[in-house]
Amino acid sequence: MKIEGKNPVRELITAGETIEKIIFADGSNDGELRTIQKLAREKGVKVEFAPREKLDKMSETGHHQGVIAFHSDFEYADLQETIDKSRQDGKDVLLVILDEVLDPHNLGSVIRVAECAGATGVVIPNWRSATVNETVVRTSAGATAHMPVIKVSNLNQAIETMKAQNIWVYGADMDGKTMYQANLKGDVAIVVGGEGTGIKKLTKSLCDEIISIPMNGKVNSLNASVSAGIVIYEVIRQRMGK
């Protein structure tokens, strides 16, 4: 998998991920690129240089910024191990469950906000879902190197596993009570539905509670990543007692 751009490549290196090699554009005087080169060499990563025109041809995003890393395929985390680690670290569990979020930009944005908020992990199904690719890594600004992304074969069974371990599961949907009325402290999981479809009926029925984001405008819908970000930070606000 190719990872393009300064921030994603730097995060990949600092996270200690397995990198086959990094190619930099020849003759660049960019200070950030020189810093990344130095960091890569310190970590023992193979560094190569090539004409910028060659990077332009290799680029899949068109925004390589003078650096492309070749990374082994993304390694997904295990649900139980992720939950156990959070509890061993003495942290409340906060899982973000994405139900048929197909847009890789939305997936990348959710991973980014989840990492910024210190969430436990992001859970996706292994079918009818965006998967972690170059677009997701770039959109996440490198957060995929730090945030566990868990791919499960059956989303509903994963929810049942969480509930059996006293993780309270909230579905973010329009017909629930507002998130300000819900107690989002403790171990929680937030289910966010796909673009234009929302949470599937069966998945919704498995949620312990349905919560909504107050809407006061004429357009009464938000995309998946914005919805996830708003609810995640309401969890953080309540946990901080504010």
pLDDT (mean) for 93-97: 98
Reported as a single tens digit per residue, the pLDDT across 112-155 is: 999 999 999 999 998 888 888 888 988 998 899 899 999 998 99
Q: Where are the beta strands (DSSP E) in 100-167?
A: 121-125, 149-152
pLDDT, residue 12, reads 86
pLDDT, residue 197, reads 78
What is the residue-averaged pLDDT of the chain? Answer: 91
Question: C-alpha angle with apex 78: 113 to 18, nearest 5 degrees?
Answer: 75
pLDDT (mean) for 72-97: 93
CA 106/CA 103 separation, integer angstroms:
5
The closest alpha carbon to 19, from 49, 41, 38, 50, belongs to 41
pLDDT, residue 89, reads 96
CA dihedral of residues 139, 155, 149, 21 (deg, nearest 10): -80
Reported as a single tens digit per residue, the pLDDT across 42-51 is: 888 889 999 9
The answer to whether residue 103 scores a pLDDT higher than 70 is yes
- Encode 34-73 in three state secondary structure: HHHHHHHHHCCCCEEEECHHHHHHHCCCCCCCCEEEEECC
Cβ-proximal residues to 190 (8 Å cutoff; 6+ apart), any chain: 94, 95, 96, 97, 170, 172, 228, 231, 232, 235
CA 33/CA 67 separation, integer angstroms:
8
The answer to whether residue 242 scores a pLDDT higher than 70 is no
DSSP single-letter state for residue 169: E
Instruction: Among 46-55, 148-157, 210-219, name the one with the lowest average pLDDT.
Output: 210-219
Reported as a single tens digit per residue, the pLDDT across 168-180 is: 999 998 888 999 9
Domains in the chain, CATH or no CATH each: 2-71 (3.30.1330.30), 79-239 (3.40.1280.10)
Q: What is the pTM of this model?
A: 0.78
Helix (H, G, I), strand (E, B) or coil at 218: coil
Instruction: Among 15-19, 107-111, 155-159, name the one with the lowest average pLDDT.
Output: 15-19
